[in-house]
Structure 1
Amino acid sequence: MASTLATTLLLASAALWAAPAPWYKWRSKLDGATTCSQTPLGPGWERAGGPYRDSRCEKPSLAK
């Protein structure tokens, strides 16, 4: 019982430190168009900037 409670408290406290994934600007290798995404868009795209805190890629982030 005590170990279950300790495990539950440990997992709950870890969730408090979780942060959302950063956003990055991505540029199309085909036509140079840019977009903002948290995940890579595929082989036809290259990272063009970031990280950012918002989905418009306007607020710089201090992500590691």
Structure 2
Amino acid sequence: MKKTVLILFAIALAGPVALNAAPAPWYHWRSKSTGTIVCSQTPLGEGWARADGPYRDARCEKPLPAK
């Protein structure tokens, strides 16, 4: 009985977090050495600087609306 209550309590706490989850935004990243631009959700390392974004697609074509 206690396990069931604990499981239901954990699900109730996790519910709002799961409902508000969204994919990470995409950004254009520019190489500091060559100037090459790529699209990625995460930083590519110290040799890269964020150029622009955020975008909602993996091609960095669809901008995210401003909040």
TM-score range, shorter chain: 0.7 to 0.9
Any stretches of 5+ residues in structure 1 without a counterpart? none
Q: Percent sequence identity over matched residues? A: 61
For each residue in 1:13-36, what CA deviation from the matched residue of structure 2 results, as whole angstroms up to 9, or x when unmatched? 321210000000000011111000
Corresponding residue for 1:33?
36
Question: 1:60, 1:35 → 2: CA distance?
Answer: 15
Greater Rg by CA: 2
Please list, as runs of the form range in 1=range in 2, the aligned pairs for 1:1-64 lying within 5 A after superposition: 1-62=4-65
CA RMSD of aligned residues (A): 1.8
- How far off its partner does 1:7 sit? 2.4
Tell me the amino acid that sits aligned with residue 24 of structure 1. Answer: Y
Count residues with an aligned counterpart.
64
